[in-house]
Chains A and B, each alone.
Chain A
């Protein structure tokens, strides 16, 4: 039933503007892969290409060995869940869910049975005769899901399906979507701009930017070991500091940043470190201390904001403006000179590039 999806060197244009550049992506059988990125990154374009609403200028799309590239949308057999649900307003819940079956020539008892079973699974059996206008946002979303699932497609695609729901419902629904997807084992592509949503629901996440996939990995790896500066910033490494190794000494190295500031970094935490590298730290990864004896980046503190679990400081350093956190027990005022001490667990090493 379930099949793997392959996009091979896909390029796409809107008029003369290139929106996808040589994009390749493989989604394994039963896997859920999210396309994550800001608006305009190409994630929705990718989905629309697979669905057949857009044609790529080059490249091929295959689903379970079947070449989809030139197939019209209605022959692709893909379950789609739309951002605005796209429920047919003139059809009842049951007729919405049964629409795809009807197109496949399934009617009468067989259709009623499958629609009923599907509505049971999403908990909407009691609303079968309602029109979509009479449903709440969450119920509409469930109908949309049921409508896409009931045709038992080899591939399911979600286009920002939860963005019109309130925060609480969004969390419930994403659990529900994940459970249904797991239970059916349907290969899925999930488009979203919400990082938490993508990370929580996916087997793997493709972070997209300017029509390219910047990194495709499991949420854990993306979060802890981003492959490049873009992804690092995207997953919350606010501070990127260019450094050069000046001394290697067994288990640790000494490296220097702008202004001649030196730090000692343990290899045990970072693995191999190239001679020239970028130290990427979350705000939590730079601890503010007014203990002048500590080794760290000397800084003049600026605005302090309260985060609940810590204080956050805007700090001026020889390596530029950085963001660092300090303990609640010791608030420091603007203008104070302090040290920013890297916490290796909250930092990572990136290959040098134009930052």
Chain B
């Protein structure tokens, strides 16, 4: 294949990728600075701001909350999303057309609106624990990821294998666990990891569903940034970037990163 691409285009692409990666490198540098204010390039190398994260009570608590919410909401989304994806792929003809529209609503409805509505019409209206709204809000926004990734795995799954197992005497539910799930395992792992990182990073839902006593890490970061201008936020950002790297490694090993370009 000949690939004659205009040199100007190549130069432009290089600039774009510098634009994409540069700011994150700057954050990394700022996190390593020994100064009490944010600066780049870093002056004196130090990991003290990383230690500082864990000395601030609010960060310790919100990191824990964020991990908890991400884990629980992802598990909920998997438990209800895998059967839904299966139904959409296997029993599509029996399901009404509006159902697939319903399933994209969590992407379509602005997250801010969803967060506000959960606060107003669930937490306040019924005086229910805000934690519940936060958890189900997160489950909702990660559900489309689960359905999409699992659907992609199912698209390459040959359902006649499942029929073969049933014809050999395996009951349907057992077939689901022994035949189907093992074959879409990489999809499940990828769905888990993408849902998890989406929840961890979420701002728009959480901003309405946090308050005194309950906050998530990104919301705490926003609050901290409005008061202090020290490298702590940069350090937390670096931790989050490390998490991203781990997520990418898992996605690469399961779906392949090119999946994200589909």
- A interface list, Cβ under 8 A from B: 52-55, 72-73
Contacts and interface: CB of A to CB of B under 8 A. Distances in A.
Given A53-B1, A72-B4, 6 more contacts: A52-B2, A53-B2, A54-B1, A55-B2, A72-B2, A73-B2
B19 to A, nearest CB: 32
A179 to B, nearest CB: 34
A52 B4 CA distance: 13
Chain B at the A interface: SS class:
loop
Contacts, number: 8
A332 B210 CA distance: 90
Contact-residue size bin, chain B (C-beta under 8 Å from the other chain): under 10
Chain A at the B interface: SS class:
loop
A54 B4 CA distance: 13
Interface string B1-34: 1101000000000000000000000000000000
Nearest to A55: B2
Contacts of B1: 53-54
A55 B2 CA distance: 8
Which 8 A-B pairs rank lowest in CB-CB distance, beginning with the nearest? A72-B2, A53-B1, A73-B2, A72-B4, A52-B2, A53-B2, A54-B1, A55-B2
8 contacts: A52-B2, A53-B1, A53-B2, A54-B1, A55-B2, A72-B2, A72-B4, A73-B2
Interface of B: 1-2, 4
A72 B2 CA distance: 8
A12 to B, nearest CB: 13
Contacts of A55: 2
A313 to B, nearest CB: 37
B42 to A, nearest CB: 43
A53 B2 CA distance: 6
Contacts of A73: 2
Nearest to B2: A72
A72 B1 CA distance: 10
B105 to A, nearest CB: 31
Contacts of A53: 1-2
A52 B1 CA distance: 8
A147 to B, nearest CB: 21
A72 B4 CA distance: 9
A94 B4 CA distance: 29
Nearest to A48: B1
Contacts of B4: 72
Contacts of A72: 2, 4
A50 to B, nearest CB: 14
A47 to B, nearest CB: 14
A257 B10 CA distance: 68
A52 B2 CA distance: 8
A73 B1 CA distance: 10
Contacts of A54: 1
Nearest to A54: B1
A318 B247 CA distance: 66
A105 B2 CA distance: 24
A217 B1 CA distance: 31
